[in-house]
Amino acid sequence: MINFKNADGAFHYYMNQILTFGENFDDTKALFNVGFTIKNPMDNVIHDGLRTRNWKQEYAEAEWQWYLSGDRNIKRLGEIYGKVPEIWRHMADENGNVNSNYGWQWERNKQLANVIAMLKSNPNTRQAAISIYNGKEINDGNYQYDTPCTYAVQFTILKGKLNMAVVMRSNDLWYGFCNDQYCFSKLQNLVADKVGIEVGTYYHYAHNLHLYNNIIEKL
């Protein structure tokens, strides 16, 4: 497993890896079964390199605040950020709701509160996990418009620090990873603060890490 100091290092490394070694897969170039660590999760800003991503921390923070609200309607994101990005409009159902608001996922069954309580009561727990991906809802057709990219998030206290693992079925490096790692690192920091310990290592696993061809064509 490759270790990175920060998210920016991971982003630029895997940008080059995908462009050089990625497999043609549908409308993307992809790497499969990718796993890496970020040693300083709160160093979560993506910087422009030779290939300009033009990542906006202001928007990533708005997305995080939207998650914290527990409201999965894109109207709430618009209220926070001032507008709703087209990608969310495309993913929303006829009522403006999405499944990929991870805050809604962890709040609706009080999963986040339960995780914090577990970690406080038993620092050695292996059960402090948040499930995002709901198989029953897939079978019921509830993911028709928007299937969450993340399966689960798990927390472990090791040597007095809170480690976190994010497991994803699919991860778009260009748009998804940049904002996802920002929000998940903020979640790691929130849980560590509630438990009263330091933030540890961020582990990121993606079965399919990719760049879309229409992005590659612009690089």
Nearest-angstrom CA–CA distance, 123 and 119? 5
Of these residues, 30, 149, 178, 183, which one is catalytic?
149
For residue 182, give the nearest of 49, 32, 36, 65 by alpha carbon. Answer: 65
Beta bridge partner(s), residue 203: 37, 165
Amino acid at 106: W
Q: Which residue has the tokens 């009561």?
A: 121
User: How many CB atoms within 10 Å of residue 215?
Assistant: 17
> Residue 124 to residues 140, 157, 202: CA-CA distances in angstroms?
36, 7, 18
- Look up 149 and say whether it is catalytic: yes
Kindly list the catalytic residues: 149
